[in-house]
């Protein structure tokens, strides 16, 4: 009611904070994932980068929801972990279907060690930055 937690300054601070995090995520994803060669010798593509960025967003947002919650319920934990697991199940199912754009991307993306390093780096760095704010 007093516009302490939602005023113009707070809104724009969180807006630029989100833009900065998204830019960093895209930049590092394009550098690390796009430079890796696929099994057939081709370089990574925009679809591969986009799927990795989407996976990172799903994981990071669910971690942030769990950390910033004041009260934990079994349903909240179930839905947070369920959304991450369902993303990976659906992504795996779609890449096993012989489609032109997603053929084999699950195994290529999550078979490379740099994928896990980047996911851990983003998760930990964003958590530390959120704790500092």
DSSP of 40-56: TSPBP-HHHHHHHHHHH
Beta strands in the chain (DSSP E): none
High-pLDDT (> 70) share of the chain, %: 83
Whether residue 69 lies inside any domain: the answer is yes
Whether residue 76 lies inside any domain: the answer is yes
pLDDT at 63: 86
Q: Which domain holds residue 24?
A: 8-132
Q: Count how many residues are written for the chain.
A: 133
Rounded to whole angstroms, the Cα distance separating 102 from 87 reads: 14
Whether residue 38 lies inside any domain: the answer is yes
Whether residue 2 lies inside any domain: the answer is no
Whether residue 89 lies inside any domain: the answer is yes
Rounded to whole angstroms, the Cα distance separating 14 from 20 reads: 10
pLDDT at 112: 75
Q: How many domains does the chain have?
A: 1
pLDDT at 129 over 70: yes
**92-110 residue pLDDT tens:** 888 887 666 667 777 777 7
Whether residue 1 lies inside any domain: the answer is no
Rounded to whole angstroms, the Cα distance separating 86 from 88 reads: 5
pLDDT at 94: 82
Rounded to whole angstroms, the Cα distance separating 105 from 18 reads: 27
């Amino acid at each position: 009611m007093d516009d302490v937690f939602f005023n113009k300054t707070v809104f724009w601070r969180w807006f630029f904070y989100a833009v900065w995090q998204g830019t960093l995520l895209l930049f590092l994803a394009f550098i690390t994932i796009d430079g890796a060669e696929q099994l057939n010798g081709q370089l990574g593509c925009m679809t591969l980068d986009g799927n990795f960025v989407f996976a990172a967003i799903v994981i990071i947002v669910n971690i942030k929801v769990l950390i910033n919650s004041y009260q934990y319920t079994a349903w909240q934990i179930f839905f947070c972990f369920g959304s991450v697991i369902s993303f990976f199940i659906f992504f795996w199912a779609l890449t096993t279907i012989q489609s032109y754009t997603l053929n084999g991307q699950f195994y290529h993306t999550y078979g490379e060690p740099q994928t896990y390093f980047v996911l851990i780096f983003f998760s930990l760095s964003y958590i530390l930055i959120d704790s500092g704010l």
